[in-house]
Structure 1
Amino acid sequence: MALALFDLDDTLIDGDSASLWFEYMVAHKLAPASMLAEEEAMMQRYYSGELAMEEYMNFTLRPLAGKACSQIDDHCQRFAQAVAAPRLYQEGLDQLAWHRAQGDEIVLISASGEHIVRPIANALQIPQSHVLAIELEQQQGRYTGRTQGVLSFRDGKVTRLQQWQRLHAHDAIAQYGYSDSINDLPLLKHVREPRVVNPAASLLLEARRQQWPVLRWQTRSNA
């Protein structure tokens, strides 16, 4: 049995779930509209590989501090169904089905917060035990606005994967890896068969240098 590792944002869905979620929070009065411009500027730095994820998470989790986990989790479920699910790439769904037919074990590994990644994983029929995302700290049933553990970002994705394998006594080979982002270069180099999806210019250049397959996926509505 082999592992097939999938990034989420701009890989399985058209867009970045963290940014889409932030827009959702503003629309539903969970965050002030005044924060949108700074979040957008941070995402530009992310796409160019210049963002410190700790900075982004500290900023975007600020509106959740002190809010009941149950309240936010209900919103995240609605967000996954109404916003994220319609943006899923049809080819991505087909690729997930192909790996399942082969008997591969699928792991969703994302640099977005687990509160938004886990509901989207349900829509993708990926078990919660196979979801690795940035963990949010909770105290007495409320989010603190802070993260915990190793952030699943850049080299942190490889670290989290290795932790997951040790925890589950899992010795399957990390055979396949899918991502759009130059930030996932450590993960792509960790697997035997990296495949880049709709890559930005920096990752496309690296893919051509390494002779990695380049996939072009579309949303179901555009397919």
Structure 2
Amino acid sequence: MMNLALFDLDHTLIPTDSDHEWSRFMVKLGIVDADKFARQNDAFYADYKAGVLDINAYLHAMLAPLAKYSREQLTDWHAQFMREVINPRIVPSAERLVREHQDNGDLCCLVTATNAFITAPIAEAFGIETLIACEVETVDNHPNGALTGKPTGTPSYREGKILRVEEWLATMDKSIDSFKHSYFYSDSHNDIPLLERVTDPVATNPNDTLRVHARSHGWRILNLFETRD
């Protein structure tokens, strides 16, 4: 019987934060002012670690600079970003984890609070067909249209991840409870709501707060980025 396998992305499947790395990449390209953007990004990251991030304000700040450029230009930049930043950091242990679930016939989905513009090519690199991410608004709502610089829909952040996953599963007349086993792999305490919702929560490369929570609840702890070979 098919199981459900959900994966967070940043510091879970990749040993870095794709949002933060994209921010640095924008600075490198001269898209944003380095000092101003760094201060803003540091403030948002502090709020994220504290569990008080205003996700909509953060998304606006990350997406607004992109509205100045054509989709073609952004696509070219993102391909460069994948080559230089993301692909070298995709580790075999994370690829194996995803492939094991796929080989078992499990229904797999990448569920991340990072926006879809950044993460769609990363999901593709892992061979994960379904992506739930913070959605970005496009001109005339065209899938390949220019970005308006604004988010849209329910952000897939904290409890929003549960809502978005359930909405996706409902399109197949399923819910999280439809599966004998439902897995969620995450590094962050911000994902505790969804971790508590599945049958098999896995604290993956967990931060200190999640590690303490996982141990107190008897959850499995997985460290993908430790070298064991």
Normalised by the size of structure 2, how large is the TM-score?
Answer: 0.90
Question: SS at the partner of 1:178?
Answer: strand
Find the counterpart in structure 1 of residue 138 from structure 2.
Answer: 138
Find the counterpart in structure 2 of residue 91 from structure 1.
Answer: 93
The Cα shift of 1:55 comes to 1.8
Matched-pair contact (CA < 8 Å) for 2:4–2:108 = yes
Which of 84, 107, 117 is the aligned partner of 1:105?
Answer: 107
Matched-pair contact (CA < 8 Å) for 1:90–1:219 = no
Find the counterpart in structure 1 of residue 156 from structure 2.
Answer: 152
Question: SS at the partner of 2:114?
Answer: strand
The Cα shift of 1:213 comes to 0.8
2:159 aligned partner, one-letter code: D
Give the direction of change, closer, same or farther, for the CA distance of 1:3–1:68 in structure 2 (3 Å limit): same
Find the counterpart in structure 1 of residue 15 from structure 2.
Answer: 14
1:135 aligned partner, one-letter code: E
Find the counterpart in structure 1 of residue 76 from structure 2.
Answer: 74
Which of 125, 128, 136 is the aligned partner of 1:126?
Answer: 128
Structure 1: 5+ residue runs without aligned partners?
A: none
Aligned-partner Cα distance in 2 for 1:55–1:203? 25
The Cα shift of 1:50 comes to 2.1
- Backbone CA RMSD of aligned residues: 1.8
Question: SS at the partner of 1:61?
Answer: helix
How do 1:27-66 and structure 2 match up within 5 A? 27-34=28-35, 35-66=37-68
Q: Could you tell me the percent identity over the aligned residues?
A: 34
Matched-pair contact (CA < 8 Å) for 1:66–1:142 = no
Find the counterpart in structure 2 of residue 217 from structure 1.
Answer: 224
Aligned-partner Cα distance in 1 for 2:76–2:112? 20
More deviation in 147-156 or 90-99?
A: 90-99
Find the counterpart in structure 2 of residue 206 from structure 1.
Answer: 213
* Aligned structure 1 segments of 4 or more residues deviating by more than 6 angstroms: none
Matched-pair contact (CA < 8 Å) for 1:88–1:219 = no
1:83 aligned partner, one-letter code: V
Aligned-partner Cα distance in 1 for 2:78–2:197? 31
Which of 149, 161, 166 is the aligned partner of 1:162?
Answer: 166
Aligned residues: 220
Matched-pair contact (CA < 8 Å) for 1:14–1:219 = no
More deviation in 40-49 or 152-161?
A: 40-49
Structure 2: 5+ residue runs without aligned partners?
A: none
Deviations 1:124-157 (A, max 9, x none): 0111xx1110100011532111100000000000
Matched-pair contact (CA < 8 Å) for 1:73–1:115 = no
Aligned-partner Cα distance in 2 for 1:148–1:219? 37
Aligned-partner Cα distance in 2 for 1:100–1:30? 38
Normalised by the size of structure 1, how large is the TM-score?
Answer: 0.92
Matched-pair contact (CA < 8 Å) for 2:135–2:153 = yes
The Cα shift of 1:67 comes to 2.4
Deviations 1:60-93 (A, max 9, x none): 1121124222321222232123211221233221
1:132 aligned partner, one-letter code: I
- 1:188 aligns to 2:195 (yes or no): yes
Matched-pair contact (CA < 8 Å) for 2:70–2:146 = yes
